[in-house]
Structures are given as C-alpha cells and as structure tokens.
Amino acid sequence: MTVIPHEEMLLGDNVERIIAGYDVILDGTDTFETRYLLNDAAVAAGIPVVHASVFRFEGQLTTFVPYEGPCYRCLYPTPPPPELAPGCSVAGVLGVVPGILGLLQANEVLKLLLGIGTTLAGRLLLFDALETEFTELTLRRDPACPVCSDEARARRDRGEAPATAAFPAGAPFVLGGAGFGGPASLGGSPEASA
Ligand SMILES: [Zn+2]
C-alpha cells in the first residue's frame, strides 16, 4: 500500500488535480462545501464516491456511482441552513459511530474495486446507534440535477460550466455543519423501502 498525503485544503481550483487517477473516493468530509465540491468534481471525473456522514447517534452511508445512480446533489440539492446542521463540535457524535460507518465504507470500496456484490448506489443506509437499527431508503437520480443530469453531462461535454455555483471556487469553507441535518434535510426525495 502506498499512502500519498495531500497536505492542502481541498478547493475548487485543486480538487480536479487531487482526485485525478483514483479509482474510488471515500468521502469523510465534515463540511457541506467540501461535500458539494467533491461530488461535483467526482461526477465530472467519473469516479465513484463512497459517502458517509455522522451526527450524534446516527450515521448515513451511500455510494454515488456517476450516471449509474444519484449523486450528492440529487440527494441534497442545496445545503441545509446552518441552524439545522450544527457541527460535531456543537452537536457531538458518539465515538463508535464514525468507526462503524468507516468499516461499512471500506466494505463498499472492496465491492467496487473487486466488482462483487451489490453496492449502495441508489440506496441510503441509515444507522441508529441508540436503537441499533439500520434503515434503507431508495434514492433516485434527479433528472434536473445540475451536476449529473443528461443536460448537465451534455454541457460538460461541450466544455460549458455547470449550471451550479453553490460555492465559489477557491473560497474558504465557512459553514460549520458537519452533520446531515436530520430528517428535515431529506426533503422528501428519498423513499423508504422495506
Ligand atoms: Zn446528481
């Protein structure tokens, strides 16, 4: 195994260079700005992202496979307001939750790289540590997604800028939200499945 550290902040003007050449990306980012930045760049580069986020006693896990399943913007078109998504330094997180979600992320990566099993593309796994419960929601691509829709892909192929500019390239990340905002942030798009 070769570890290549990147000791720089992930920004709009370096994300393409930093993620280039990787087969899969594990998203353990702790700000919404970084998540959107990473999502948009990964879709453009065609690299799958195994996404996990934690909040207090809960965790979320899914795998974004560009154009095969939804992307982060299909799931959350816009960031929740900061008051609905306090950072871990404010809301706290049960220490074992990141560990549990991290192992599940690693499991997703193994399946992607080995081409075995069924990934979490199009499925959002929710983990409730207090009840020790897993719930699965079905996710669908947003046909109007500014990043992964057919129209967005055509724009990219034509060399045009995406129709989204949620965060200016190169701007420092200012939102402190590290959680996922709870059920209110789901916006009704994911659908529960048995
Ligand atoms: Zn999308």
Rounded Cα distance, 184 and 188, in Å:
8
pLDDT band at 77 (very low <50, low <70, confident <90, very high): confident
Percent of the chain with pLDDT over 90: 66
pLDDT band at 159 (very low <50, low <70, confident <90, very high): confident
pLDDT band at 165 (very low <50, low <70, confident <90, very high): low
Q: How far does the centroid of ligand 1 lie from the alpha carbon of residue 69, in Å?
A: 8
Q: With contact defined as beta carbons under 8 Å apart, do 85 and 181 qualify?
A: yes
pLDDT at 71: 97
Q: How far does the centroid of ligand 1 lie from the alpha carbon of residue 153, in Å?
A: 10
Q: How far does the centroid of ligand 1 lie from the alpha carbon of residue 147, in Å?
A: 5
- DSSP letter string, the chain: -------S---TTTHHHHHTT-S-EEE---SHHHHHHHHHHHHHHT--EEEEEEEBTEEEEEEE-TTTS--HHHH-SSPPPGGGS--HHHH-B-THHHHHHHHHHHHHHHHHHHT-S---BTEEEEEETTTTEEEEEE----TT-TTTSHHHHHHHHTTPPPS--SS-TTPPP-----S---GGGGTT-SEE--
Least confident among 26-35, 42-51, 55-64, 157-166: 157-166
Q: How far does the centroid of ligand 1 lie from the alpha carbon of residue 172, in Å?
A: 24
pLDDT at 134: 98
47 vs 82: which has the higher pLDDT: 47
Q: How far does the centroid of ligand 1 lie from the alpha carbon of residue 71, in Å?
A: 4
CA torsion, ordered 41, 68, 183, 78, to nearest 10 deg: 40
Burial of residue 160, with CB atoms counted within 10 A of its CB: 0-12 exposed, 13-18 middle, 19 or more buried:
exposed
> Position of tokens 């399943």?
69
Q: How far does the centroid of ligand 1 lie from the alpha carbon of residue 130, in Å?
A: 31
Q: How far does the centroid of ligand 1 lie from the alpha carbon of residue 64, in Å?
A: 9
pLDDT at 90: 74
pLDDT at 80: 77
* Res. 152: pLDDT tops 90: yes
Q: Is the pTM of this model over 0.85?
A: no
Q: How far does the centroid of ligand 1 lie from the alpha carbon of residue 36, in Å?
A: 11
pLDDT band at 88 (very low <50, low <70, confident <90, very high): low
pLDDT band at 83 (very low <50, low <70, confident <90, very high): confident
What CATH number should be reported for the domain whose range is 26-182?
Answer: 3.40.50.720
